[in-house]
């Protein structure tokens, strides 16, 4: 007789067992009598409302903290940000730039910890038990508050863990410091350069008009001071960001449209296609405030019709405001921007672009490899040959690998410079015209891609129009075909 115990537990198998718990006897009666399910449903609904109240508290706290921030490393950041492409390619530059960004993020987060009375309880039960209700009564009596959660604060454990990320000094996309330093500051500095360019252009008269009509929104009193580096501290709050973006994009007062700076630039560029001016970039909203922008998207839809109507409303607004056309125009205007300040993700995008412009997936990476060995580190071959150990050679190879593949982004300027050197020196026969026009090739690519994207969007909108503006019966569900069409539309836009 065989002993099968040796085979027990050798191959673990995961199985999902599905059972329905059906209350019997008095159980169902007691559930209904005590309102167990109703209480749980009410509590879940109350929790959603409380989260919105807590978000309002966080936004107010962040806004209060940002009003006192002093950024001492702005000038150094500005110098590094405007460094040459060759300097940016060095390891020393990357380390120095990372250190300055880290220092600036710490200056942001320092403002939180300085408000000790609130920051010390921000993720503790005392916030809900004491501080929150008092704050609502003083500042926002219209907000929701449920006393039941005073003795049930653990309900917010997951919420608090999520919100802690906002106060981090690390490079986290959900952090306030990351939004202000890694995302908005580069845009602000680019806009400083744009203002310098347009100040001496053919729209001087329009700038004077904007100065008058947008006076209530111009930070620091006048446009020149608003688009100066030291004004960045004024756009750390959401109110500052809103004012700044209003000056760039304009606003409506009743039936009257007050033009922003970009609209004046658009009009000038239409009349002067050979001397186009660059446009300003709006700043991203402050963390949490950016949720307001997607006003067409609720936390959940009650029905398929609600969802279809919301999508249709968004598409109609986007089409009527020429939003998609404006995105294409922006892509087509990349050639007006400083190529060293246009960044491309160093991932599969590089291979896709390489294939699109040359028919070879590896062209850009080969060019970057050659560019490093002959321009960034011209003595690469000599150093590698002179290396006396495997570890020394590995270190030299790693430095090149970090440049080619290790960085998150490459500027368009770096890629175009690398391609120009590589194609004209090594692989001219690949495509003589490509070698001749390497500078500006990425701008041409993005312009062409933008036009194709716009055509695809309009085609999708046309093919899905029958999905919308149709009233369905309660409980209606999208068919598999309609679901695929809707997904294609949303993926495309």
Q: For residue range 199-247, list pLDDT tens digits in order.
A: 888 888 888 999 999 999 998 888 999 999 999 999 999 999 999 999 9
Q: For residue range 380-397, list pLDDT tens digits in order.
A: 888 888 888 888 888 988
Highest mean pLDDT among 213-217, 315-319, 329-333 belongs to: 213-217
Q: Mean of the pLDDT values across residues 303-314?
A: 78
**Lowest-confidence region among 140-144, 172-176, 194-198, 322-326:** 322-326
Is the pLDDT at 109 greater than 90? The verdict is yes
Residue 396: exposure state from Cβ atoms within 10 A (0-12, 13-18, ≥19):
middle
Q: For residue range 427-448, list pLDDT tens digits in order.
A: 555 555 565 556 677 777 777 7
Residue 364: exposure state from Cβ atoms within 10 A (0-12, 13-18, ≥19):
buried
Residue 295 confidence (pLDDT): 43
Is the pLDDT at 308 greater than 90? The verdict is no
Q: Mean of the pLDDT values across residues 66-79?
A: 94
**Lowest-confidence region among 49-58, 91-100, 427-436:** 427-436
Q: Mean of the pLDDT values across residues 409-429?
A: 78
Residue 293 confidence (pLDDT): 40
Is the pLDDT at 294 greater than 50? The verdict is no
**φ/ψ of residue 256, rounded to 5:** -95, 130
Q: E-assigned strands of 353-463?
A: 409-411
For the chain, state the CA radius of gyration.
29
Residue 10 confidence (pLDDT): 62
Residue 226 confidence (pLDDT): 93
Residue 292 confidence (pLDDT): 44
If pLDDT is split at 50, 70 and 90, which confidence band does 19 have? low
Are 72 and 107 contacting, i.e. CB atoms less than 8 angstroms apart?
A: yes
If pLDDT is split at 50, 70 and 90, which confidence band does 415 have? confident
Read off the tokens for 341: 């300040």
Highest mean pLDDT among 47-51, 131-135, 300-304 belongs to: 131-135
CB atoms within 10 A of CB 386: 11
Q: For residue range 338-379, list pLDDT tens digits in order.
A: 778 888 888 888 888 888 877 778 888 888 988 898 888 888
pLDDT > 90 in the chain, percent = 28
Is the pLDDT at 23 greater than 80? The verdict is no
Q: Mean of the pLDDT values across residues 7-29?
A: 67
Are 207 and 226 contacting, i.e. CB atoms less than 8 angstroms apart?
A: no
Residue 103 confidence (pLDDT): 96
The mean predicted confidence, pLDDT, of the chain is 82
DSSP per-residue letters across 219-276: TTSSHHHHTSGGGGGGGSSHHHHHHHHHHHH-EEETTEEEP-HHHHHHHHHHH-GGGP
Residue 446 confidence (pLDDT): 78
Distances (CA, A) of 474 to 101, 309, 464, 471: 53, 15, 21, 9
**Lowest-confidence region among 78-87, 199-208, 323-332, 343-352:** 323-332
Rounded CA-CA distance 448/437 in Å is 15
Are 185 and 80 contacting, i.e. CB atoms less than 8 angstroms apart?
A: no
Highest mean pLDDT among 9-18, 334-343, 410-419 belongs to: 410-419
Question: Rounded to the nearest 10 degrees, how much is the dihedral formed by the CA atoms of 342, 344, 345, 347?
Answer: -160
Residue 296 confidence (pLDDT): 46
**φ/ψ of residue 455, rounded to 5:** -65, -40
Sort strands 409-411 and 343-345 into parallel, antiparallel or unpaired.
Answer: antiparallel
Residue 335 confidence (pLDDT): 67
Is the pLDDT at 469 greater than 90? The verdict is no
Read off the tokens for 103: 């220092």
Q: Mean of the pLDDT values across residues 140-167?
A: 88
User: What's the length of the chain?
Assistant: 493
pLDDT > 70 in the chain, percent = 84
């Amino acid at each position: 007789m065989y002993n099968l115990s040796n085979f027990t537990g050798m191959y673990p198998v995961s199985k999902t067992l599905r059972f329905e718990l059906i209350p019997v006897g008095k159980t169902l009666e007691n559930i209904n009598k005590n309102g167990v399910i109703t209480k749980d449903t009410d509590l879940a609904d109350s929790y959603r409302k409380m989260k919105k109240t807590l978000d309002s508290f966080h936004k107010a706290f962040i806004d209060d903290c940002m009003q006192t921030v002093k950024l001492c490393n702005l000038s150094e950041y500005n110098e590094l940000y405007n460094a040459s492409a060759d300097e940016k390619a060095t390891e020393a530059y990357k380390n120095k730039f990372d250190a300055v960004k880290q220092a600036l993020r710490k200056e942001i987060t320092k403002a939180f910890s300085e408000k000790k009375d609130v920051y010390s309880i921000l993720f503790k039960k005392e916030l809900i038990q004491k501080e929150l209700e008092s704050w609502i009564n003083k500042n926002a009596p219209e907000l929701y508050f449920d006393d039941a959660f005073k003795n049930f604060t653990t309900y917010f454990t997951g919420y608090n863990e999520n919100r802690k990320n906002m106060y981090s000094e690390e490079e986290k996309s959900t952090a306030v410091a990351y939004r202000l330093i890694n995302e908005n500051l580069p845009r602000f500095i680019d806009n400083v350069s744009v203002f310098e360019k347009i100040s001496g252009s053919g729209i001087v008269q329009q700038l004077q008009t904007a100065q008058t009509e947008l006076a209530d929104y111009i930070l620091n009193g006048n446009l020149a001071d608003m688009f100066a580096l030291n004004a960045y501290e004024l756009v750390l709050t959401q109110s500052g960001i809103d004012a700044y973006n209003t000056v760039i994009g304009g606003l409506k007062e009743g039936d009257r449209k007050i033009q922003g700076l970009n609209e004046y630039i658009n009009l000038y560029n239409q009349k002067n296609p050979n001397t186009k001016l660059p446009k300003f970039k709006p700043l991203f909203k402050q963390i949490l405030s950016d949720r307001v922008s997607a006003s067409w998207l609720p936390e959940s839809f009650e029905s398929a019709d609600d969802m279809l109507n919301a999508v249709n409303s968004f598409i109609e607004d986007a089409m009527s405001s020429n939003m998609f056309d404006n995105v294409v125009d922006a892509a087509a205007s990349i050639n007006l921007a400083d190529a060293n300040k246009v960044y491309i993700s160093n991932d599969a995008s590089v291979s896709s672009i390489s294939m699109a412009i040359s028919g070879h997936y590896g062209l850009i990476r080969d060019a970057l490899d050659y560019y490093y060995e002959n321009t960034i580190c011209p003595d690469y071959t000599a150093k590698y040959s002179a290396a006396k150990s495997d570890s020394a050679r590995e270190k030299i190879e790693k430095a090149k690998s970090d440049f080619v593949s290790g960085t998150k982004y490459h500027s368009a300027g770096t890629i175009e410079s690398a391609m120009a050197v590589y194609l004209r020196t090594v692989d001219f026969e690949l495509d003589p015209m490509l070698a001749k026009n390497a500078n500006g090739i990425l701008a041409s690519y993005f312009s062409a891609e933008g036009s194709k994207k716009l055509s695809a969007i309009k085609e999708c909108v046309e093919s899905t129009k029958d999905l919308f503006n149709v009233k369905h019966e309660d409980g209606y569900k999208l068919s598999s075909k309609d679901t695929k069409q809707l997904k294609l539309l949303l993926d495309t836009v």
